[in-house]
């Protein structure tokens, strides 16, 4: 069953030189209990997509198109309506657990304040739920942890607490914006495993936003690759990563350091991702694409459906061979 259905989402931000579209005509769906990965370089519009679902777009930011969440249309929602949904049905965890928790408030306050607000439970009930949550995210000695402040925990533990906070009201959708980027590699695996367990035990839908394809390959069911605010490729994670069809996806995968390529020079994508407000016309990637032709420079790239589960936005579609990419 579809929980979230985004159609033609465009996010316009106010920049120093006037309004600019940070997200352009984005469409995607998430089923219940599914994990969707959104990947792309910095500035590709991943976070703005998430913030528009949360109603937390920056000052003077505007979303248009349609975001249907569990039967409700979120585009055009008033701040008051967003406050009703936010924290209760849609929750979000942020990149840096060192700064996303309030340094002066106890863990108990931070775990229970929205629970008490949304669910109108008593202090004792909220406390019991907080203990349960800390146990779920595997914080040792939850009783002591409740009285502690964030500074007494390591980065990985803080991210677990942030996840516990997000889960307090049993949301239907969890958005994790770069949940492991600020953490040690050894801690990353634990957080990813936790997210996967939660998805299974609570039938939680999750959007994981990252630029780390390794994180996504381990965790997500489906994957969407974004470039300059628009989708370039999407499909089941394993297919997208093993047989990418869009030149940009191929470039991202080539740029991954892996054991097979040990000793070889990494292949970086030429050039820099475009800045907000300076996205190239046509297929935005044409300035860096080795397959680019004249027709890529204007109009919109062709949408190519593959096997009914995948699609790419590429007029050239250079890897359209039965064996996929010829390595």
Name the residues that contact other proteins, by CB under 8 A: 54, 56, 79, 82-88, 91-92, 94, 96, 99-106, 109, 113-114, 117-118, 147, 149, 151-152, 162, 165
Rounded least distance, CB 116 to other proteins, Å: 10
Which lies closer to other proteins via its Cβ, residue 77 or residue 285?
A: 77
- Angstrom distance (rounded) from CA 151 to CA 166: 19
d(CA 250, CA 240) in angstroms, rounded, equals 9
CA distances from 72 to 6, 67, 200, 275 (A): 12, 8, 25, 33
Least separation in angstroms between residue 205's CB and other proteins is 17
Closest distance to other proteins from the beta carbon of 178 (Å): 12
Nearer to other proteins, 144 or 300 (CB): 144
Contact 220, 179 (CB under 8 A): no
> How far apart, in whole angstroms, are the C-alpha atoms of residue 194 and residue 159?
11
Question: DSSP letter string over 219-239?
Answer: H-SEEEEEETTEEEEEEEHHH
Which residues have C-beta within 8 Å of that of residue 217, sequence separation ≥ 6? Answer: 237, 238, 241
Query: Can you tell me whether residue 71 is helix, strand or coil?
Result: coil
Q: Encoding tokens for residue 312?
A: 């790419």
> In the numeric block, which tokens belong to residue 159?
């991210």
Q: Which two tokens stand for residue 203?
A: 């039938």
Sign of CA dihedral 287, 288, 292, 296: negative
DSSP 310: E
CB of 4 to other proteins, least distance (A): 16
Q: How far is the CB of 12 from other proteins (least distance, A)?
A: 19
Q: Which is nearer to other proteins, 102 or 278 (CB)?
A: 102
According to DSSP, residue 150 is labeled: G
Beta carbon nearer to other proteins, 113 or 295? 113
Q: Which is nearer to other proteins, 88 or 288 (CB)?
A: 88
Q: Which is nearer to other proteins, 84 or 303 (CB)?
A: 84
Q: Give the span between the Cα atoms of 241 and 253, in whole angstroms.
A: 7
Residue closer to other proteins, measured from CB, 54 or 232: 54
Local structure of 31: helix, strand or coil: strand
**Least Å from the CB of residue 145 to other proteins:** 14
Q: Report the SS3 class of residue 250.
A: helix
Instruction: Show the CA angle centred on residue 9, arms to residues 6 and 12, nearest 5°.
Output: 150
In whole angstroms, the minimum distance from the beta carbon of 6 to other proteins comes to 19
Q: What is the CA radius of gyration of the chain?
A: 21
Q: Smallest gap, in angstroms, from Cβ of residue 321 to other proteins?
A: 45
Nearest residue (CB) to other proteins, 103 versus 257: 103
In the complex, the smallest distance separating the C-beta of residue 54 from other proteins, rounded to whole angstroms, is 6
Closer to other proteins by CB, 171 or 251: give it: 171
């Amino acid at each position: 069953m579809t929980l979230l259905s985004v159609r033609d989402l465009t996010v316009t931000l106010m920049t120093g030189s006037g309004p600019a579209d940070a997200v352009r005509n984005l469409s995607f769906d998430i089923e219940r209990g599914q994990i969707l990965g959104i990947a792309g370089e910095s500035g590709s519009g991943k976070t703005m997509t998430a913030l528009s679902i949360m109603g937390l777009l920056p000052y003077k930011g505007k979303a248009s198109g349609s975001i249907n969440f569990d039967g409700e249309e979120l585009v055009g929602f008033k701040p008051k309506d967003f406050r009703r949904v936010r924290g209760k049905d849609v929750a979000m965890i942020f990149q840096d657990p060192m700064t996303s928790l309030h340094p002066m408030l106890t863990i108990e306050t931070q775990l229970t304040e929205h629970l008490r607000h949304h669910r109108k439970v008593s202090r004792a009930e909220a406390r019991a739920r907080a203990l349960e949550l800390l146990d779920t995210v595997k914080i040792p000695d939850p009783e002591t942890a409740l009285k502690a402040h964030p500074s007494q925990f390591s980065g990985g533990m803080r991210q677990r607490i942030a996840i516990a906070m997000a889960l307090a009201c049993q949301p239907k959708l969890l958005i994790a914006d770069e949940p492991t980027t600020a953490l040690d590699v050894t801690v990353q695996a634990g957080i990813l495993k936790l997210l996967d367990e939660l998805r299974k035990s609570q039938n939680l839908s999750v959007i994981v936003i990252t630029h780390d394809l390794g994180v996504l390959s381990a965790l997500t069911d489906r994957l969407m690759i974004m470039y300059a605010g628009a989708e370039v490729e999407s499909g089941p994670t394993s297919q997208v990563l093993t047989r990418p069809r869009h030149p940009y996806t191929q470039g991202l995968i080539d740029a991954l350091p892996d054991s097979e390529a040990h000793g070889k020079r990494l292949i970086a994508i030429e050039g820099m991702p475009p800045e907000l407000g300076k996205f190239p016309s046509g297929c935005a990637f044409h300035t860096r694409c080795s397959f680019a032709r004249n027709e890529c420079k204007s109009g919109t790239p062709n949408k190519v459906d593959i096997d009914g589960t995948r699609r790419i936005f590429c007029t050239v579609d250079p890897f359209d061979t039965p064996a996929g990419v010829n390595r």
